Amino acid sequence: MNKRKICWITPDYFVDCDLNYFNMHEILRHYDIHWIVLFSKNNRFKEADFEQIRKENTNLTIEFFSSCVGSDSEADCIISRCGKHYPGQWNGKL
């Protein structure tokens, strides 16, 4: 059975909320997740902080970007990333 897909976008300032192993494992039981983490210039987290959850879940992919947060083109950056992973399913509007 194919699981439904989620494109999950988290800016740096919400990572401490979304990097919750119990909640993420429960959601991953029902969905495949492509997680986009938007780092700021002074991000509090690093890519290595996500290694454990990435290794434990084969249906979780994570991308990290630092140029999106706080830029004038933040919405365009997010739209282009989600559109790449969900062609035909993303209407281009936030």
pLDDT band with cut points at 50, 70 and 90 for residue 71: low
Structure tokens at 85: 């992973």
CA distance 77 to 10: 13
Identify the pLDDT of residue 16: 85
Identify the pLDDT of residue 48: 92
CA angle 1, 24, 44 (to 5 degrees): 140
CA distance 30 to 27: 6
Q: What is the mean pLDDT of the chain?
A: 78
Identify the pLDDT of residue 94: 44
**E strand or H helix at 77, and its extent?**
helix 74-85
